[in-house]
Amino acid sequence: MKIHTLTLAQLSKGLRAREFSSVDLVRGFLDRIDAHQPTLNAMITVMRDQALSAAEAADRELAAGRGGPLAGLPIVHKDLFCTEGVLTTCGSHMLDNFVSPYDATVVAKLKAAGAITLAKSNMDEFAMGSSNETSYFGPVRNPWNTDLVPGGSSGGSAAAVAARLVPAATATDTGGSIRQPAALCGVTGVKPTYGRVSRYGMIAFASSLDQGGVIAATAADAALILREMSGFDANDSTSVDMPVPDYMAGLDAPLAGMKIGLLKEFFDKGLDAENEKRIREALAIYERLGATLREVSLPNLPLSVPAYYVVAPAECSSNLARFDGVRFGHRAKDPRDLMDLYKRSRGEGFGAEVKRRIMTGTYVLSAGYYDAYYLKAQKVRQLISADFKRAFSEVDVLMGPTTPTPAFPIGAKTSDPITMYLNDIYTIGANLAGLPAMSIPCGFTAGLPVGLQIVGPHFSEGKLLNAAHVFQRETDWHTRVPERFS
């Protein structure tokens, strides 16, 4: 039996029925991780011993008829979630020696639900990147074509799920970092509403935009994980104190009457023609399922990329000030004085893209520039939020492409940051407005997956997962696995 092609629900059932043990499961996936690490470079740290002993404990629980909803099921965490006693690098030389003394809330919640962490996944350095090429630990490769990027910044998590190295992985999305790699790797990714999932223990890039979420093969699996990782956290003032619905319960609700808005601004000249075809085909399926389509316009949405590249760097320039070589992380050797310690520790510890954003952010917050950049970007952000709000007074969800093109070759865009930034043109809006959004596989172009993006009003994760799941009942794109990993 190919356990790696089973869904979480099937794996859980098998565990409960003792068809296989958690140790079998965990060992099986660990072996796949090890086997494909040289090809994909999806992981930074593999936690074989911890995972196997946790699996043994899970088996004892399961044998006794106990265990949480995720008991014995394997998972991978993006390497910016702090994991107690385990290296937590954020994809950076700055933290390549950082063993976290505590668990992020998301890690603790999933652990409490019974999930077993197999590894920490590779990512763009400090989540800054759209191709996974900024990782200090080398680029992750796209399982569909290893010459191509998997997207970023959660490229390790997306590639791992696409290659079925693990059934599900945590990820984070600041400007598209869950949805874009999910699209490029042909898997399902959910970025929840800002505040739905605790940010405590998630190493910050841009605090007002960062949101933890999940990447899985199917919407149902994503729903299962999301249910366990969501919820208010007293340690995160921006987490929202609202009950978490049972996302599993509403998955099969019929879509008849659902009003879908097509984002006019997304079907622009930058959208690859083949990608657009796959999206239109997917929309036709929704129509067939009883949903109605109408075009909606969000006139301020084209401003999202420039606004984002002011707000996100501004916050990152401040968030990353704590990496100074004094208490943890990379420390320059033999500093002459304090300034030398700061300058060399940071100069050596951070990569080029991180430095670029720190400098951009420092600039836009400087005296005399604040109003022209930061303040203006915040105003644009409010306009974009208002656009979305208006749209959601007319439709239930918005749909469109997740990315303009399928996966691109490693190295193709590294020399031109602006071209790279434009890869997030369709995803950034949801972050600026704090909205939940997903990407699901909706077909292929030249052998590469295409992602359909679904955006909903605040706290409509249930509705998005429902729309995604019903689509996945009708299609099999989400079950496709690249041949060498099948």
CA dihedral 262, 264, 267, 268 (to 10 degrees): -170
- By CB under 8 A, name the one of 4, 199, 330, 344 that touches other proteins: 199
Does residue number 359 form part of the binding site for other proteins (CB under 8 A)?
A: no
Q: Where are the beta strands (DSSP E) in 51-161?
A: 74-78, 116-121
407 near 482, Cβ under 8 Å? no
Does residue number 432 form part of the binding site for other proteins (CB under 8 A)?
A: no
- By CB under 8 A, name the one of 137, 247, 350, 374 that touches other proteins: 374
Does residue number 45 form part of the binding site for other proteins (CB under 8 A)?
A: no
Find the farthest-apart pair of alpha carbons in the chain and give their distance in angstroms, rounded. Answer: 70
Q: Is 258 exposed, middle or buried (0-12, 13-18, 19+ CB in 10 A)?
A: buried
Place of tokens 């970007």: 377
Only segment of 9-17, 79-87, 153-161, 424-432 that touches other proteins (CB under 8 A): 79-87
- By CB under 8 A, name the one of 63, 370, 389, 394 that touches other proteins: 370
Size of the site for other proteins (CB under 8 A): 45
Q: How far is the CB of 317 from other proteins (least distance, A)?
A: 8
Q: Where are the beta strands (DSSP E) in 150-281?
A: 168-173, 188-191, 211-216, 259-263
Q: Which is nearer to other proteins, 101 or 299 (CB)?
A: 101
Q: Which is nearer to other proteins, 263 or 435 (CB)?
A: 435
Q: Which is nearer to other proteins, 101 or 270 (CB)?
A: 101
- By CB under 8 A, name the one of 185, 296, 314, 438 that touches other proteins: 314
- By CB under 8 A, name the one of 57, 365, 383, 412 that touches other proteins: 365
Spell out the long-range contacts of 410-416 with Cβ–Cβ below 8 A and sequence spacing 24 or more: 410/131, 410/133, 410/139, 410/141, 410/147, 410/148, 410/149, 411/133, 412/149, 413/131, 414/131, 414/133
Distance CA 245, CA 203 (A): 27
Rg of the chain in Å (alpha carbons): 21
Closest CA to 161 of 185, 179, 138: 185
Distance CA 348, CA 454 (A): 40
147 near 410, Cβ under 8 Å? yes
Strand 259-263 to 397-401 pairing: parallel
Q: Is 239 exposed, middle or buried (0-12, 13-18, 19+ CB in 10 A)?
A: buried
Q: How far is the CB of 350 from other proteins (least distance, A)?
A: 13
Does residue number 393 form part of the binding site for other proteins (CB under 8 A)?
A: no
- By CB under 8 A, name the one of 37, 50, 238, 475 that touches other proteins: 238
- By CB under 8 A, name the one of 10, 39, 207, 405 that touches other proteins: 207
Q: Which is nearer to other proteins, 164 or 381 (CB)?
A: 381
Q: Where are the beta strands (DSSP E) in 201-286?
A: 211-216, 259-263
Does residue number 444 form part of the binding site for other proteins (CB under 8 A)?
A: no
Find the binding residues for other proteins in span 273-312 (CB under 8 A): none
- By CB under 8 A, name the one of 63, 338, 352, 359 that touches other proteins: 338
Query: Is residue 70 helix, strand or coil?
Result: coil
Q: How far is the CB of 211 from other proteins (least distance, A)?
A: 12
Q: How far is the CB of 87 from other proteins (least distance, A)?
A: 12
Per-residue mark of binding to other proteins, 148-187 (x: CB under 8 A): ----------------------------------------
Per-residue mark of binding to other proteins, 318-337 (x: CB under 8 A): x--xxxx-xxxx--------
- By CB under 8 A, name the one of 132, 208, 345, 460 that touches other proteins: 208
Q: Which is nearer to other proteins, 322 or 390 (CB)?
A: 322
Q: How far is the CB of 434 from other proteins (least distance, A)?
A: 11
Q: What are phi and psi of 174, to 5 degrees?
A: -105, -35
Cite the active site residues: 78, 153, 177
Q: How far is the CB of 115 from other proteins (least distance, A)?
A: 19
Q: Which is nearer to other proteins, 102 or 444 (CB)?
A: 102
∠ CA 88-28-110, rounded to 5°:
45
Amino acid 327 reads R
Does residue number 234 form part of the binding site for other proteins (CB under 8 A)?
A: yes
Does residue number 98 form part of the binding site for other proteins (CB under 8 A)?
A: yes
Please give the residue ranges that form the binding site for other proteins (CB under 8 A): 80-82, 88, 90, 95, 98, 100-102, 104, 199-204, 206-208, 234-238, 314-315, 317-318, 321-324, 326-329, 338, 342, 362, 365-367, 370, 374
